[in-house]
């Protein structure tokens, strides 16, 4: 197990303690770690693996299997375009394309200045508002391609 | 609100005494302002409305005259934020914070704010009471009805309505076998999609060999366009917990799990609060109500994988592993979580259980059809006037749901299809609209009940594009463990992409059908074996659209970008310039007043923004 990486992170320790070091809570633990660091830094995965006494390969496989996890640093603002069926039939793809064009990134990517990360979500269940874009935790409903630019410009 | 000291209840009598105390402390005739605090209304700005009500009540010292309750979703998302004045059930819709002082002063005086009432689009009449609004008239809200009577974060609200009395009856007056018999006799079938008889599943789990038994509540509602489980978990979590407790007693389990999508933060929060409050009162934990029965529940949050809705994948994820399904030659009721007998039901199924035991199997079985009993909650979304959650008796027709409850298609567009059953379901055409909705009838037309998403499509929806959407979705969500699903979906996606981008060939439809048969026969789990349904049903009912794409290189609905061109109708264009402003790439040039605009085809990205804003039909889509 590589241990030469940076020193252990006290916050990870606290998260692990809150689950009593229960390996079955791995998904929840990684969610909390990601909420703390905005992504899953390599050394946190090592620490989780050592403290829970499970192979790093398993932590890595879980961290790469679930869509919610990112192994790369993400932007200050997370943009989520809902691509649920209801949003799709109301033109969500056009909204995603317009954000891609405006920021010059694809879903899963982050702008060079780390301002935005673009992600897509399969449904947030706010279908009455579709198509919907969620930036951080703010919902913007009934989106149109020509409203994208103004929406993005309202963030700094 | 009656504040009660949290003390563990150690007998049914103590539970009833507490209930009496709560009910006595409440005046049923007191006006209560009920605001939906569900995800849909919050997204529409309900939090500001809630804050404004709090301030207004504080300001006028009206605490004794007016109660305020923030509840879960009453279903009519289209018109949110929703406010209902109890006990009269006056419904105010699309309420904004600036309307609050008017609502408060009218309510105190016993008046009604006319301008915020719902207007019936057919008659133009204002409708005062919630139950008279057409959206609610044909519904039968056995499960959702209590959402507006309960603040989900206050257990006393649930107790005041008789909550946990059924659990108490089960623990002290019914044997586990009697409970299972009742659920079997009621004819309850699993609401998660498969429709397996719930009582039979419980019985198999009870009889299976094992040291420990588990029960799981599946709230990993991954179907896009479906949010009924979320609304139940957000709005009435104790009804789900009570159902799980009754099931656990019948099966002989002492540990339960709620597996909930992390994309549903409010459901995670409210389930957590409910577990904590029930634990404090001794309704969860050791020796529940002094009966000697122990049961506790843990919450586990999903990581955003659709396949984890599949029972074996969900259990793998609960064990802290990658959410891959396994072959089910040994059923999970025999060997599930940690290789022990495990019973998994979805949220809606669990919420039905207390109702059945409370009112009896005969009462429950009166609602519904021969093979499907009770009600079903659908999320009615897409191209529909009344987007929202609807709870209807099994056997109602699709036409009644879409036109009477849903209010039909917006902008007088023509109905094309309704997609049920999520990515594993199918598209049902107009010719089948009079179909009574139940598990078996939907399967007969090539679709399925699924968990209850109902996505309505109009003439502007392209059915090939919809098929491609679902296949791409499933391709992304396939766990990759078995070859037919991993490779088959990839090839199907390529073929459909070719068709929608003008590279379709003669024989593509037949190839899709052959691939579909292979997937259905040989995939490891239901994700793969049902994946072809959207393709097969769209080919079955809308073959002409596929042929138009392949032979004529034309998308009749005007959706597939590569097959569409936008043109300016010079005769109709007054040069108003709306489209010039809407165009994100400056492809349209204003030529001055009363002169038609000019569209540069080289720059056009075919986003359709101009087409959407032009009300004069001067943008032609070909």
B71 pLDDT above the threshold of 80: yes
Q: For residue A132, which residues of chain B lie inside 8 Å, CB to CB?
A: 43
> What does the radius of gyration of chain B's CA atoms come to, in whole angstroms?
26
Q: Which domains does chain B have, with CATH numbers?
A: 27-135 (3.40.30.10), 155-365 (3.40.50.11540), 375-458 (3.10.20.600), 463-551 (1.20.1440.230), 565-621 (3.30.70.20)
- Closest residue in B to A67 (Cα) is B304
Q: For residue A97, which residues of chain B lie inside 8 Å, CB to CB?
A: 605, 607
Q: For residue B383, which residues of chain A lie inside 8 Å, CB to CB?
A: 89-90
B418-435 pLDDT, tens digit each: 999 888 889 999 999 999
Cα separation values, B433 from B403, B415, B417, B419, Å: 10, 10, 9, 12
- Closest residue in A to B558 (Cα) is A91
Contact A130 B381 (CB under 8 A): yes
Write down the pLDDT at residue A1.
44
* Interface pTM, i.e. ipTM: 0.87
**Sequence spans of domains, chain A:** 10-65, 77-153
Residues 78-117, chain A: which have Cβ within 8 Å of B? 83-86, 88-91, 94, 97-98, 101-102
What is the Cα–Cα distance from B350 to B219, expressed in whole angstroms? 11
Whether the CB-CB separation of B422 and B465 falls below 8 Å is answered with no
B472-487 pLDDT, tens digit each: 999 999 999 999 999 9
Tell whether A45 is within 8 A of chain B (Cβ). Answer: no
Mean pLDDT of the B153-178 span: 97
Contact B262 A31 (CB under 8 A): yes
Contact A125 B388 (CB under 8 A): no
Q: Average pLDDT over chain B, rounded to whole?
A: 93
A3 pLDDT above the threshold of 50: no
How close does chain A come to B490, measured CA to CA in Å?
Answer: 18
Tell whether B457 is within 8 A of chain A (Cβ). Answer: yes
How many beta-carbon pairs below 8 A join chains A and B?
157
Write down the pLDDT at residue A5.
47
Write down the pLDDT at residue B203.
97
- Closest residue in B to A32 (Cα) is B301
B240-274 pLDDT, tens digit each: 999 999 999 999 999 999 999 888 889 999 999 99
Write down the pLDDT at residue A6.
54
Write down the pLDDT at residue A8.
58
Residues 522-561, chain B: which have Cβ within 8 Å of A? none
A51-71 pLDDT, tens digit each: 999 999 999 999 999 988 999
Enumerate long-range contacts of B396-402, CB under 8 Å, 24 or more apart: B396/B138, B396/B436, B396/B437, B397/B433, B397/B434, B397/B435, B397/B436, B397/B437, B398/B428, B398/B432, B398/B433, B398/B434, B398/B435, B398/B437, B399/B433, B399/B434, B400/B138, B401/B437, B401/B454, B402/B433, B402/B456
A67-90 pLDDT, tens digit each: 889 999 999 999 999 998 889 888
How close does chain A come to B457, measured CA to CA in Å?
Answer: 7
B447 pLDDT above the threshold of 70: yes
B19-63 pLDDT, tens digit each: 999 999 998 889 999 999 988 898 888 999 999 999 999 988 888
Fold category of A77-153 in CATH: Glutaredoxin (3.40.30)
B612 pLDDT above the threshold of 90: no
Write down the pLDDT at residue B486.
95
A95-105 pLDDT, tens digit each: 999 999 999 99
What is the Cα–Cα distance from B420 to A98, expressed in whole angstroms? 29
């Amino acid at each position: 197990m590589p241990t030469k990486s940076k020193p252990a992170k006290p916050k990870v320790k606290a998260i692990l303690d809150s689950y009593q070091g229960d390996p079955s809570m791995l998904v929840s633990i990684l969610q909390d770690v990601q909420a703390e660091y905005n992504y899953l830094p390599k050394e946190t995965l090592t620490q989780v693996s050592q403290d829970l006494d499970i192979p790093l390969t398993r932590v890595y496989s879980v961290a790469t299997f679930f869509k919610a996890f990112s192994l790369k640093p993400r932007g200050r603002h997370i943009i989520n375009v809902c691509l649920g069926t209801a949003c799709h039939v109301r033109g969500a793809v056009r909204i995603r394309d317009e954000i891609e064009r405006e920021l010059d990134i694809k879903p899963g990517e982050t702008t060079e200045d780390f301002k935005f990360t673009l992600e897509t979500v399969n449904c947030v269940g706010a279908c009455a508002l579709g198509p919907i874009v969620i930036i951080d935790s703010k919902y913007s409903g009934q989106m149109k391609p020509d409203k994208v630019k103004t929406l993005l410009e309202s963030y700094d | 609100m009656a504040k009660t000291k949290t003390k563990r209840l150690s007998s049914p009598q103590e539970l009833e005494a507490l209930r009496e105390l709560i009910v006595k402390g409440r005046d049923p005739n007191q006006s209560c302002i009920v605001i939906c605090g569900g995800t849909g209304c919050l997204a529409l700005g309900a939090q500001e409305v809630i804050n404004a009500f709090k301030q207004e009540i504080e300001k006028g010292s009206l605490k004794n005259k007016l109660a305020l309750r923030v509840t879960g979703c009453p279903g009519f998302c289209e018109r949110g934020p929703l406010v209902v004045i109890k006990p009269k059930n006056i419904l105010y819709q699309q309420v904004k914070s600036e309307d609050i002082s008017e609502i408060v002063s009218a309510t105190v005086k016993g008046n009604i704010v006319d301008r915020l009432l719902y207007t019936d689009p057919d008659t133009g009449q204002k409708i005062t009471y919630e139950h008279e609004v057409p959206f609610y008239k044909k519904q039968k809200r056995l499960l959702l009805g209590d959402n507006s009577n309960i603040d989900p974060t206050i257990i006393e609200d649930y107790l005041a309505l008789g909550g946990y009395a059924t659990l108490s009856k089960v623990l002290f007056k019914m044997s586990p076998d009697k409970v299972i018999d009742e659920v079997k006799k009621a004819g309850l079938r699993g609401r998660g999609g498969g429709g397996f008889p719930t009582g039979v599943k419980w019985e198999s789990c009870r009889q299976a060999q094992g040291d420990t038994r588990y029960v799981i509540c599946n709230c990993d509602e991954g179907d896009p366009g479906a949010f009924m489980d979320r609304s139940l978990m957000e709005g009435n979590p104790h009804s789900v917990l009570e159902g799980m407790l009754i099931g656990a007693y019948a099966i002989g389990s002492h540990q339960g799990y709620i597996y909930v999508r992390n994309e549903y933060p409010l459901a995670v929060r409210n389930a957590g609060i409910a577990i904590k409050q029930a634990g404090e009162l001794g309704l969860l934990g050791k020796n529940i109500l002094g009966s000697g029965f122990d049961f506790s529940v843990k919450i586990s949050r999903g990581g955003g994988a659709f396949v984890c809705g599949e029972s074996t994948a969900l259990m793998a994820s609960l064990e802290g592993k990658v959410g891959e399904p396994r072959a089910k030659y040994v059923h999970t009721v025999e060997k599930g979580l940690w290789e022990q007998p495990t019973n998994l039901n979805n949220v809606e199924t669990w919420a039905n259980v207390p109702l059945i035991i409370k009112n009896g199997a005969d009462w429950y079985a009166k609602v519904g059809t021969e093979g499907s009993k009770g009600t079903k909650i659908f999320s009615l979304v897409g191209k529909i006037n009344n987007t929202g959650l609807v709870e209807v008796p099994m056997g109602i027709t699709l036409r009644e749901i879409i036109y009477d409850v849903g209010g039909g298609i917006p902008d007088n567009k023509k109905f094309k299809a309704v997609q049920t059953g999520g990515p594993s379901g199918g598209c049902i055409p107009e010719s089948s609209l009079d179909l009574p909705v139940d598990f078996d009838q939907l399967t007969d037309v090539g679709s399925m009940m699924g968990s209850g998403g109902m996505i309505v499509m109009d003439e502007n929806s392209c059915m090939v594009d919809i098929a491609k959407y679902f296949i791409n979705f499933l391709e992304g969500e396939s766990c990759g463990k078995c070859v037919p699903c991993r490779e088959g979906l990839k090839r199907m996606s390529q073929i459909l992409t070719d068709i929608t981008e003008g590279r379709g060939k003669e024989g593509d439809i037949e190839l899709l059908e052959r691939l579909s048969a292979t997937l259905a026969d040989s995939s490891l789990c239901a994700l793969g074996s049902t994946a072809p349904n959207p393709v097969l049903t769209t080919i079955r009912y809308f073959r002409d659209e596929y042929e138009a794409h392949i032979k004529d290189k034309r998308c009749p609905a005007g959706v597939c970008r590569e097959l569409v061109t936008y043109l300016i109708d010079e005769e109709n264009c007054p040069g108003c310039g709306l489209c010039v402003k809407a165009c994100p790439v400056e492809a349209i040039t204003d030529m001055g007043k009363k002169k038609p605009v000019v569209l540069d085809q080289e720059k056009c990205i075919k986003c359709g923004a101009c087409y959407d804003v032009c009300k004069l039909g001067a943008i032609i889509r070909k």
